[in-house]
Chain A
Amino acid sequence: MNNQAATEPVQELKQTGNNPPGKKLKIVLVGNPNVGKSLFFNQLSGGYVDVSNFPGTTVSVTKGNYRNYEVFDTPGIYGVSSFNDEERVARDIILEADIILNIVNSLYLERDLFLTQQLIDMGKKVTICLNFSDEVKRRNLKIDYQKLSDFFGVEVIPFSAVSGNGFNRLDFAIENAREGKRLYDISRIKNKTVYSSIPDAELIMIAEGDDIISERYGLPVAGFDERELIYIERRNAVNELVSNAEYEDSSSGRFFNLLGRLSIDPKYGIFVLLGVLTLMYFFIGDLVAQRLVGFTEGEIGNRLFEYNLKLYVGEFTPVDVTAELMNVEDEVTESRNFNFPAGIDKNSDAYVEMNQFIDGKNYALSFHYPNWFYKLLFGEFGVISMTITYLLFLLFPLVIAFYFAMAFLEDSGYLPRLATMMDRSLNKLGLNGKAIIPIILGFGCVTMATITTRILGNEREKTIATAILQFVIPCSAQLAVITVLMASAGFVPLMIYSFVILTVLITLSTILNKFLQGSYSPLLLDLPMMQFPKFNNLMKKTYYRTLGFMKEAAVWFFVGALIVGLFDITGLLKIFQDMLAPVTVHWLKLPKEAATAFVMGIVRRDFGTAGLFEMSLAPMQITVAIITITLFVPCIASLMVMLNERGLKTGMMIWAATWIVAFAIGGIVAQIIV
């Protein structure tokens, strides 16, 4: 499993520009985590990969194009070796590189130039790109570029991937990449015959005790290890260089610095967290989920779009309309049927009567088409009507809000600090603080977050975190619908829901922690600067993620609606609902129609949750239904990713367990509260 990340295919961005055929040179962007490689890559290739302010955003290699070159974005690493997934992925593409653009964060020269020296020792053609030049300027930091360049023997060029500074010298940077001055004299070992045919880059890795590379050349594992020696020498050289090439800035006591401090403070940290959650709640839960979606779903979706669509369709086919009048509490006070056996004729008595009945009142209309084809497309589960309302008027605004809030968090630098604060608590669950990062990202998209579990230290932690994600973390779209439903259910249901989900989370990881071999890996995490998120990046990220979501969800929603619609028409849905009635009605105490939501939930959890939307449920029933569907099987996309990341056995076990746990817990809660 361990090597899997290394062998996976490289993602390819769409080709931009014309590239003549022939073998293209490979430019590889290499650097420590969170130094701006991905932003640099986006600038250079015109493509888009995720940019966030925490180490470990990028976990796989992405390919793009620049002029006649192939460009690769890589996961951040602190050194070229094979200690973890990110390193194994980066290692192989670095070994293949023709040119390396070493991206360096100018504010952390001591840390970053260690890797630089290693790349140079490997004999690679390198140009050093000193990123974050905007911050250098802002802080009045002085860096002696000439000194750095003399020391390493390669070009050193200031860049800012944010402002675009330096990119006019990009071609110069690429064309002048060259081998630099090596610190480690490789000729000493090159003389030995066993090593003579091994390329320099690989040889230095072998000298540093890299077992995987040793194996590749048929050498004994740990046959030769000068790592300690080389590292100390390299570290000392870099420290000395930096102390001579950089002049201290005025320490700027900014607001965000202070916020960063407070967020890891044992006393105030919890208030920062509560503050963040409160802000999120007001933005997503109140402003968007209630006010905005109330408008888009209720007014635009139902009143305007569905009403007019169904009315229009009704002109061509027989239709029965049920009109319900409601009081201010949304309780139905009066209901009447209007039949249009020959389609709706706007001059007919029935139509006039209907309009009089609803005029000026709080009403809801439902249309029933006896004709199966119209029913399939425009009926209750109409492939067209339902999909569009759910997607455009319910999920779209919610998902945008969620992704925006997530992007804000990701780009602020808060997540690694939250990880630090939660470290000891998570140790008890068999994880270290870092695990909070994929878990929080899971609230955006469980599928994406499952991939991010790669940043965790060992297989065991990845399994526990993946299980948590698949069991208890509702993704943004689902959470969005939950927020809307919960808002209508009230405070007590919300408390019950949170309590149950949290209990399952803790029980689940405690059990896994007990039964899986091994223990957590200790935390070692560098904290990025706190910053106010870059507006541009927020917009871009929200845009790309929303677009990605809509594309994927649209397909699955259509498919899901088609299946449910066909089930409905053929009568299978009824049979199915009756079959599941013992579970839905007696065990979960829900109306038997709720079975439909679970069928929809297999396709996608958010789709299933949206299915609950149309049912009139009591607050406690909503609680049960939402608990069950939160714990229920993950969407197909995230199942696929999980199988790929964790392997068939673990993946299927987690998947099967979600079924059992969902219905077991849902039922127990139902027996108690409904």
Chain B
Amino acid sequence: MGNKTLDKASKGKFLKINSLPKGIHRIQLLRFGITEGDIVFCLERLPGGTVVIKKNRQEIAIGFDIAKNISCSYHS
């Protein structure tokens, strides 16, 4: 399925993370446990593009400016 950026992902869908942004945010996401190739669940997408994803038990809120630089695709 087509690539999209995380800020546009739909709530309630499983997503495959295709690429992470470079720099400090990449480091932080890696530390949180998010890597390229991971399957995560889109728990919420707020107006404006703040997204909450879930991996295992962990819920992470990601602001629009980071989300728009994460590319992902739906996974079923």
Of chain B, the residue at the smallest CB distance from A425 is B48
> Chain A's nearest CB lies how many Å from the CB of B51?
9
Contact B35 A227 (CB under 8 A): no
> Chain A's nearest CB lies how many Å from the CB of B61?
4
Contact B44 A232 (CB under 8 A): no
Of chain A, the residue at the smallest CB distance from B62 is A524
Q: How far is the CA of A529 from the CA of B57 in the complex (A)?
A: 9
> Chain A's nearest CB lies how many Å from the CB of B72?
16
Contact of A523 with B50 at beta-carbon distance under 8 Å, contacts A239-B35, A423-B63 already known: yes
Q: Which of B44-63 contact A (CB under 8 A)?
A: 44, 46-50, 52, 55-63
Q: How far is the CA of A634 from the CA of B5 in the complex (A)?
A: 44
Residue A526, interface by CB 8 Å: yes
Which residues of the other chain, A, contact B30 by a CB distance below 8 angstroms?
Answer: 114, 231-232, 235
Contact B56 A264 (CB under 8 A): no
Contact of A523 with B62 at beta-carbon distance under 8 Å, contacts A111-B32, A235-B35, A236-B35 already known: yes
Residue B76, interface by CB 8 Å: no
Contact B58 A424 (CB under 8 A): no
Q: How far is the CA of A110 from the CA of B55 in the complex (A)?
A: 10
Dominant SS among interface residues on chain A: helix
Q: How far is the CA of A97 from the CA of B14 in the complex (A)?
A: 42
Partner of A527, one of B25, B29, B60, B66: B60
Partner of A423, one of B31, B43, B56, B61: B61
Contact of A522 with B25 at beta-carbon distance under 8 Å, contacts A231-B30, A420-B46, A424-B64 already known: yes
Residue A421, interface by CB 8 Å: yes
Residue A79, interface by CB 8 Å: yes
The 8 A CB mask of A516-548 against B (1 = contact, 0 = none) is: 000000111111010000000000000000000
The 8 A CB mask of A105-126 against B (1 = contact, 0 = none) is: 0011011001100000000000
Which residues of the other chain, B, contact A433 by a CB distance below 8 angstroms?
Answer: 50, 61, 63
Partner of A416, one of B29, B61, B66: B61
Residue B1, interface by CB 8 Å: no
Contact B59 A522 (CB under 8 A): no
Contact of A423 with B46 at beta-carbon distance under 8 Å, contacts A83-B24, A524-B29, A526-B60 already known: yes
> Chain A's nearest CB lies how many Å from the CB of B43?
7
- List 17 extra interface pairs beyond A264-B61, A427-B48, A522-B64, CB under 8 A: A78-B28, A79-B27, A108-B58, A110-B33, A111-B33, A239-B35, A420-B61, A423-B63, A424-B48, A427-B64, A432-B63, A433-B50, A433-B61, A433-B63, A523-B66, A524-B62, A526-B32
Residue numbers of B with Cβ under 8 A of A are 24-25, 27-33, 35, 43-44, 46-50, 52, 55-66
Residue numbers of A with Cβ under 8 A of B are 78-79, 83, 107-108, 110-111, 114-115, 227, 231-232, 235-236, 239, 260-261, 264-266, 416, 419-421, 423-424, 427, 432-433, 522-527, 529
* 22 A-B contact pairs sorted by A residue (CB < 8 Å): A79-B27, A79-B31, A111-B58, A114-B33, A232-B30, A232-B35, A261-B43, A264-B52, A264-B61, A266-B47, A420-B44, A420-B61, A421-B46, A424-B48, A424-B64, A427-B48, A522-B66, A523-B61, A524-B29, A524-B32, A524-B61, A526-B59
